[in-house]
A and B are shown apart, each in its own frame.
Chain A
Amino acid sequence: MSTNEWPLWEVFIRSKQGLNHKHVGSLRAPDATLALENARDVYTRRSEGISIWVVESAHIHATDIDDAASFFEPSDTKIYRHPTFYEVPDGVKHM
């Protein structure tokens, strides 16, 4: 198998109703223009979106799964960070 492969790109799509772009998957393409065209062909065949972002996967920095304990677990015990201790006045709607 050739090692000279096209770079990997992550694809984000905003749907008609959605406000933000959501990650939908990845694909390979030689450059950004063709990555957008490939994303259009692979991920919006059934009217899934009205806007596409692509970013080279190499440019994404991710947390390490091994760090999950120190990164995320501490917040599990901080229930006071959730605004659940307030009584909502009767007159307030849409909360």
Chain B
Amino acid sequence: MMEQSALFEYVLRMSDDSLILAQRLGEWCGHGPILEEDIALTNISLDLIGQAISLYDLAANLEGKGRNHDQLAYMRYELEYKNVLLVEQPNGDFAMTMLRQFFFDAFRLPLYEALMQSPVEQLAAIAAKSVKETRYHLKHSSEWVIRMGDGTDESHKRAQDAIDHLWRYTHELFYVDAIDHALLADGKIPNMETIQAKWMTTVTSILQEATLEIPKNNWKFEGGREGRHSEHMGYLLADLQYMQRAYPNMEW
């Protein structure tokens, strides 16, 4: 595979993770469990949109076909989105949203930390800027996981239910295929096994502190990285894309 197009795919996968999770968090706007948390969730959403814009700009640049970040974000079909299934899962209750966020943050932080060393300068620069935001996201989601797990009977049950449901989607965070192999061989990206080990360390220690348990089953759901999404994705994209589809090229 041409290296340029491998890098395009790699960056696109990261952009889509950020955009789709941001869209999900944005759904909480005005519906947060308390005003302060409503603002916290939408702050995280805006951080992720900012990261998505930078990553889409880089992807568009690598692709070299004259597309801009808006066209990448809003004008593709479902099969062309390469985000992991985890980030498109519905918000559910606050525990479901926070556990989804925690699993993602614990993955994104070591990824950005490693990408800061990438010889792809623009990618390293985006990672360096995003790592501070992500460190805060992980702190915030970790604090909530600990409080829900080690809180009341009901908050503990809801947090454990969320883990039991979401665990099957976490394996896909570490998905690798020919695209990753090509870039890894050239030293452009970090080894995913290292990222996974760091993720596991974070998840194990926080869940332990939260008195929550890692599920025993080994179900693994994947497909997002190849564009095969869960049934929730179409509805999400309908919301996300409506304005650009109804009024192509509009700006505000």
CA distance A37 to B147 in the complex (A): 14
> Are B143's CB and A41's CB within 8 A?
no
List, in ascending order, chain B residues with CB within 8 A of A55's CB: none
> Are A28's CB and B43's CB within 8 A?
no
Taking the closest CB of chain A, its distance from the CB of B211, in whole angstroms, is 17
Residue A27 at the B interface, CB < 8 A? yes
> Are A38's CB and B40's CB within 8 A?
yes
CA distance A36 to B37 in the complex (A): 12
Taking the closest CB of chain B, its distance from the CB of A28, in whole angstroms, is 6
> Are A38's CB and B36's CB within 8 A?
yes
Number of B residues with CB within 8 Å of any CB on chain A: 12
Q: Which of chain A's residues 5-59 have a Cβ closer than 8 Å to chain B? A: 6, 27-31, 33-34, 37-38, 40-42, 45
Contact of A28 among B36, B40, B139, B140 (CB under 8 A): B36
Residue B178 at the A interface, CB < 8 A? no
List, in ascending order, chain B residues with CB within 8 A of A6's CB: 34
CA distance A35 to B37 in the complex (A): 11
CA distance A41 to B36 in the complex (A): 8
> Are B39's CB and A41's CB within 8 A?
yes
* Chain B residues touching A, majority SS: helix
> Are B39's CB and A28's CB within 8 A?
no
CA distance A64 to B140 in the complex (A): 38
> Are A28's CB and B34's CB within 8 A?
yes
Q: Which of chain B's residues 27-67 have a Cβ closer than 8 Å to chain A? A: 34-37, 39-40, 43
Taking the closest CB of chain B, its distance from the CB of A31, in whole angstroms, is 8
User: Which residue of chain A lies nearest to B139 when distances are taken between CB atoms in the complex?
Assistant: A37
Taking the closest CB of chain B, its distance from the CB of A46, in whole angstroms, is 12
CA distance A33 to B43 in the complex (A): 18
CA distance A29 to B36 in the complex (A): 8
User: Which residue of chain B lies nearest to A31 when distances are taken between CB atoms in the complex?
Assistant: B147
Taking the closest CB of chain B, its distance from the CB of A4, in whole angstroms, is 11
> Are B43's CB and A34's CB within 8 A?
no
List, in ascending order, chain A residues with CB within 8 A of B43's CB: 41, 45
List, in ascending order, chain A residues with CB within 8 A of B34's CB: 6, 28
List, in ascending order, chain B residues with CB within 8 A of A31's CB: 147
0/1 interface trace, chain B 129-154, chain A, CB 8 Å (1 if under): 00000001001100100010000000
Of A28, A29, A37, A40, the most chain B CB neighbours within 10 A belong to: A37
Of A6, A41, A42, A45, the most chain B CB neighbours within 10 A belong to: A41
> Are B143's CB and A42's CB within 8 A?
no
Contact of A30 among B139, B140, B147 (CB under 8 A): B147
CA distance A6 to B34 in the complex (A): 10
List, in ascending order, chain A residues with CB within 8 A of B40's CB: 37-38, 41
> Are B147's CB and A42's CB within 8 A?
no
Contact of B143 among A27, A28, A33, A40 (CB under 8 A): A33
List, in ascending order, chain A residues with CB within 8 A of B147's CB: 30-31, 34
List, in ascending order, chain A residues with CB within 8 A of B35's CB: 27-28
CA distance A45 to B133 in the complex (A): 12
List, in ascending order, chain B residues with CB within 8 A of A30's CB: 147
> Are A37's CB and B140's CB within 8 A?
yes
Chain B residues in the interface with A (C-beta under 8 A): 34-37, 39-40, 43, 136, 139-140, 143, 147
Name 6 interchain pairs, CB-CB below 8 A, sorted by A. Answer: A6-B34, A30-B147, A34-B143, A38-B40, A42-B36, A45-B43
